[in-house]
Structure 1
Amino acid sequence: MHKKALVRDLLKEKQTELTAAERKLSAVLLDDQLLTGLQSITRLAELAEVSSPTIIRLARKLGFDGFSDMQDAIRDEIGARMKKPLAKLDTPGDSSDHMVSRFIQAVSGNVNRTIERLDLAEFDEVAALLSDPSHRLYLLGGRITRSNAHYFFNHLQIIRPQVTLLDSSPSAWPQSLLDMDAGSVLIVFDIRRYEKELEKLADLAVKQGATIVLFTDAWGSPIEKHARHCFRAMVEVPSSWDSTLAINFLIEALVADVQSRSSDQSAERIAALEQMIGESRIFRSN
């Protein structure tokens, strides 16, 4: 079982079964994105301030044969998370299969596995949060996911008021952070390679009282530790770049749910928008 499960997920799932010392060790591993797990058992014990037997017991509780077995899994997980997109060019493929067919299979698998891992209760909670007009919404994506943030923003601003797409330049973020408070929701998109600037923004937003909703990949952005809600989507396809189609599936499903929860308000806004578009045609050149 542990060959398929991510170590980070196993640590979170087993929390209620762990002793105080094991939970302390688990926190050290999770806080550092598992990187401390690559240390020697002696060094890890020093860093976590636990005994070596505690490390071995934790590994076995997670389903591993011992520390070295868990460390191999951590190494594989970090390697997959940090893999450079261009390295995919070296992956051999079946030349007899057309790219379109291979891509369809990969994307279909991504969407299906994303749905399988989706927590419907959390989905409903996020939809309710985003449909509440008392919450001001802010959206931002990274270098690859900026288009996802923009797409989500375009729909949300039609459905409800108080929606802001943050500028792509970090130098413009302090002005928006200044207005964030306990009624604010920051929606962030961050997939590998994870962007330090986005993590810092999330940290500052939480300190302002904002709620973070994160869209990330299977391995999980470091922003997860700041997020109240997190959606993990599958992104791997036979390409030099990761695919965000599964993320867009989640976005469109949320748009539909938010609109259904705000049907009267959104209908009025859409009608007003159509009227403005019609009246503004006089300003357009023929």
Structure 2
Amino acid sequence: MAAGSLADDIRTKLGELSPAERKVARVILAGYPASGFETVAVIAERAAVSAPTVLRFAARLGYRGFPEFQAALRAELDERNASPLSLYEATGRQDAAEPHESGAALPLAHQTSAVFTTAVAQTLAEIPEHDLAQAISLLADRKRHITLAGGRFTHLFAQYLAMHLMQLRDEVRVLPDRAVERTAHLVHLSRRDVVVLFDYRRYEDDKEAIAQMVRDAGGKVIVFTDAWLSPATAHADVVLPSHVTTLTPYDSLVPTLAVLETVIAGVVQALGEDAHHHLQQSENTARRIGLV
């Protein structure tokens, strides 16, 4: 995805590394991001390789030395932890319209159109095909129980996807907000469960904890996140990242909605006539109780 996602870059280049360099990569990924700030000597010891191997690993990633690698990691963490307030203060007020070639200001709608069009196109072009296919397969598997959970803003997306899936198949629920109900649900996780998490910067600790609990129970985890990757992705079976570029201090979730719509379309295709039958039953029930 976007530049700055070092963990994603490391995973992508694993096949290009030597066996010794891959040991360094696995040590860093296992404790990411904190492991990246260890000394060369400590990382070498943990990976059971020589110090020069750690330096060669950094060079393979395109850095002139390990300090430069750590500087890039530090910059990434600054971006990962950015809040709307810090982004606002870093970029200044966004009240000046972008000028056109003629010198006149472009209308705001034209500016946002360019930004969102690019972000959506890049997100869909760069989304891992295997992960997209696996997400669709898991969500269309009617033997599995689907649970969805989001964050401060993204709980809306969890509900959005859940409402679509509820019309297409059984055993779909949003993770309850209240502590007792949430705990009761998580206690009963099993191999049949698929948990879908939405986690964007600033990441929420409970998402990583939930992902780990699902994996410990033998279930599957799907994570929708940004280009810097939520810590929950360390325990995920499927990772669906999106660009979040926008004109405001708030990250844009427009590309995420495009990914969601793509997943929904895939689930409808995968379920085929079963989806049609379930949707028909839902419509009939809603009509009988006066909801449509």
Normalized against structure 1, the TM-score is what? 0.89
* Gap regions ≥5 residues in structure 1: none
Counterpart of 1:95 in structure 2 is 96
Q: Does 1:186 align with 2:195?
A: yes
Counterpart of 2:76 in structure 1 is 77
Query: Which is worse superposed, 33-42 or 176-185?
Result: 33-42
Counterpart of 1:122 in structure 2 is 131
Deviation per residue, 1:165-203 (Å, 9 max, x gap): 111244432322233221211111111111111111111
Question: Contact between 1:170 and 1:197, CA under 8 Å: does it hold in 2?
Answer: no
Counterpart of 2:37 in structure 1 is 38
CA distance in 2, matches of 1:232, 1:204: 22
Q: Do the aligned partners of residues 4 and 277 (structure 1) sit closer, same or farther apart at CA in structure 2, a change above 3 Å counting?
A: closer
CA distance in 2, matches of 1:182, 1:57: 41
Amino acid in structure 2 at the alignment position of 1:129: L
Question: Contact between 1:214 and 1:231, CA under 8 Å: does it hold in 2?
Answer: yes
Task: Give the CA deviation at 1:13.
Answer: 2.1
Q: Does 1:275 align with 2:284?
A: yes
CA distance in 1, matches of 2:80, 2:111: 22
Counterpart of 1:198 in structure 2 is 207
Q: Does 1:175 align with 2:165?
A: no
Deviation per residue, 1:227-277 (Å, 9 max, x gap): 111101111312222121111111111111211222322222222222222
Give the 5 Å matches for 1:118-157: 118-157=127-166
Amino acid in structure 1 at the alignment position of 2:34: L
Task: Give the CA deviation at 1:33.
Answer: 2.6
Task: Give the CA deviation at 1:110.
Answer: 1.5
Deviation per residue, 1:103-157 (Å, 9 max, x gap): 3222222211111211223322321221121111111111121000000000000
Amino acid in structure 2 at the alignment position of 1:96: A
Counterpart of 1:62 in structure 2 is 61
**Residues matched between the structures, number:** 281
CA distance in 1, matches of 2:213, 2:26: 22
Question: Contact between 1:137 and 1:163, CA under 8 Å: does it hold in 2?
Answer: yes
Q: Do the aligned partners of residues 266 and 207 (structure 1) sit closer, same or farther apart at CA in structure 2, a change above 3 Å counting?
A: same
Which residue, 199, 216, 222 being the options, matches 2:225?
A: 216
Amino acid in structure 1 at the alignment position of 2:97: S
CA distance in 2, matches of 1:47, 1:104: 48
Q: Do the aligned partners of residues 42 and 125 (structure 1) sit closer, same or farther apart at CA in structure 2, a change above 3 Å counting?
A: closer
* Gap regions ≥5 residues in structure 2: 99-106
Amino acid in structure 1 at the alignment position of 2:159: H
Question: Contact between 1:177 and 1:208, CA under 8 Å: does it hold in 2?
Answer: no
Task: Give the CA deviation at 1:47.
Answer: 5.8
SS of corresponding position for 2:203? coil
SS of corresponding position for 2:289? helix
Task: Give the CA deviation at 1:76.
Answer: 1.8
Question: Contact between 1:110 and 1:235, CA under 8 Å: does it hold in 2?
Answer: yes
Task: Give the CA deviation at 1:163.
Answer: 0.6
Question: Percent identity among equivalent residues?
Answer: 27
Task: Give the CA deviation at 1:94.
Answer: 7.2
Q: Do the aligned partners of residues 5 and 84 (structure 1) sit closer, same or farther apart at CA in structure 2, a change above 3 Å counting?
A: closer
Which residue, 235, 247, 272 being the options, matches 1:263?
A: 272
SS of corresponding position for 1:252? helix
Q: Does 1:10 align with 2:1?
A: no
